[in-house]
Amino acid sequence: MKVQVIGCNHHTTDIEFRERLAFQPNQVPDALDRFQKTHPGIEAVLLSTCNRVELYTASEKSAVCPSHEEVVDFFAAYHGLNPTDIASELRQLSGEEAIRHLFTTAASLDSMVVGEAQILSQVKQAYEMANDGDFTGPLTHASFQAALRVAKRIATETALHKRRISIPSVAVADFASQFFERFDDKTILVIGAGEMGEETLQYLIDLNATDIHIVNRSIERAEDLASRTAGKAQPWEMLDPLLIKADLVVSTTGANKPIVTIDHYKDISQKRFQRPLFVLDLAVPRDFEPAIGDELGVYLYSIDDLQAVCDKNQRARQRELPKAQEIVEAETAKFMAELTHRTTIPWVKQLREQADSIKQDELARLLNKLEVLGELGEQGKKELEVSFDRLVNKLLHPPLESLRDDASKGLEHGLLDALKKLFQLRE
C-alpha cells in the first residue's frame, strides 16, 4: 500500500519552469486518462496551479506504484519536453511525507501567501475532476477527503484565514466596510483600470456594489475592465462630474503626479455640499494630494495606511502558524495510523483463517479418535470445540495486540513483515 506525490512548486522552481509543466483545466482529464493507460489500476489526482504542478498516485500494492523516472517521462511526453531537462526539478514524497504535504497544501500552509483561500478550492477541484473521470480509488478518496477535513479544521480552529493581507482585500474589508454599512446604495468611482483596481472592484462587487463607474485615460481599457467585472466605462472627461457624485473612490492610476490636487478638489467640494467622501488612493505616486484628507467630510487613505494593516495582519497570521502546524501533525499521525491498520487487516484475516483451518483439522482428528473409543458425548464435543477456540485465540492475542499497537502509532511495517515470515503468510 503506497501513497506518493511527484511534482514541483514555488519553493523550489521558478515560474518559467512551472509554466512549461502546467496543465490547463481542460487538459487534466486527458492527462489522467493517458497516465492510467500507461499505469493501469493506479489511482491518480493531478493538481496544477500557478504555484505548483503535482501528481498524486496511490496503489494497494506498493511495488506497482510508478517510479520517479516514470512520472518524469509522463510529464515530459505530455508537454513535449526532454526528460533530462526536468527530472532534477521534480521531487518525490511518499507515505507520511506525502500525506503531510497534501494536508499542508490544502490548508494553505505551503502557499506563497500563507492562509490564502484559493488553494483549498483548487485541491477540491483537482480531486473532483479525478473522481469524475474514475481515476481515483480507496487511497486517494481517503487522502483527499482527510485533507479537506484538515483544511476545514484549521479554518475553524485558528484565525489563520481571518486576517486579510492583500492591499485590495484590506482596503475593502478593514477600511471601506468600517465606514459604510452597505454598498448596494453607494456610487463608486474607480479611477484606473489596472490589476489593483480590478481586484478591489471585485471585493466591492462581492459586497453587492452595483452603481459603479470606471474612468481611465484609455476608454478601451476601461471598457475591458467593465466587461470583465461590472459597472460602466466613462471617458476621462467625466472625472469631475463623477467625483461630485461619488460616495467611494478607488484610485489606482500610474500617473507620475497627483490627478486631483487640493485646489482642484476645492472646486469639486463646493458642489458636493459637504457629503462624505471616502477615498482609497492605492496609486504610487499618490493620485490625490494628501492635503485633501484634511478637507471637511473627506476620508482619504493611501497605500501606506493599508500596508500597515497588511503587515499587522501578516504578523497575526504568523502567530497562528504553530497551532495550524500542530493540527497538521496530529491529523497526519492519525491518518497514517488508520492507513497502517488498514494494511494489517487482510493479513490478520489470513492468519486467523490459517489458524482456524489448523484448529478444525486437529479437532476433527481428535473427535474421530475419541468417538472410536466411545469416550465422548455431544456435551463433550462442545467443550472440546470451545477449548480449541480459546486456545487459538489466546495464542494469537499477543502478536495481534502488538500489531494493533504498532498500527495505532503509525509505525512502519517491521512487525507485520515479521508476522508474515513467522507464520508463512503469502500475498
Tell me how far apart the terminal alpha carbons of the chain are, to the nearest angstrom.
13
50 is an active site residue: yes
Q: Which residue has the cell 496530529?
A: 330
Taking the C-alpha atoms of residue 192 and residue 190, their distance in angstroms, rounded to an integer, is 6
Say if residues 177 and 321 touch (Cβ distance below 8 Å): no
Say if residues 90 and 68 touch (Cβ distance below 8 Å): yes
Task: Say whether 251 sits in a helix, a strand or coil.
Answer: strand
Task: Say whether 49 sits in a helix, a strand or coil.
Answer: coil
Residues 6 or more apart from 174 whose CB is under 8 A from it?
A: 164, 306, 309, 313
- One of 8, 50, 65, 310 is an active-site residue; which one? 50
Residues 6 or more apart from 363 whose CB is under 8 A from it?
A: 384, 385, 388
Query: Phi and psi of 248, rounded to 5°?
Result: -135, 130
Say if residues 238 and 260 touch (Cβ distance below 8 Å): no
Taking the C-alpha atoms of residue 386 and residue 384, their distance in angstroms, rounded to an integer, is 5
Q: Which residue has the cell 518559467?
A: 16
* Eight-class DSSP state of 181: S
* Eight-class DSSP state of 184: T
Q: Which residue has the cell 480531486?
A: 127
Say if residues 15 and 40 touch (Cβ distance below 8 Å): no
Q: Hey, what's the torsion of the CAs at 346, 347, 353, 358, to 10 degrees? A: 170
Please give the single-letter amino acid code of residue 89. Answer: E
DSSP string, 90-151: -EEEETHHHHHHHHHHHTTSSSSSTT-SHHHHHHHHHHHHHHHTT---HHHHHHHHHHHHHH
What positions carry a catalytic annotation? 50
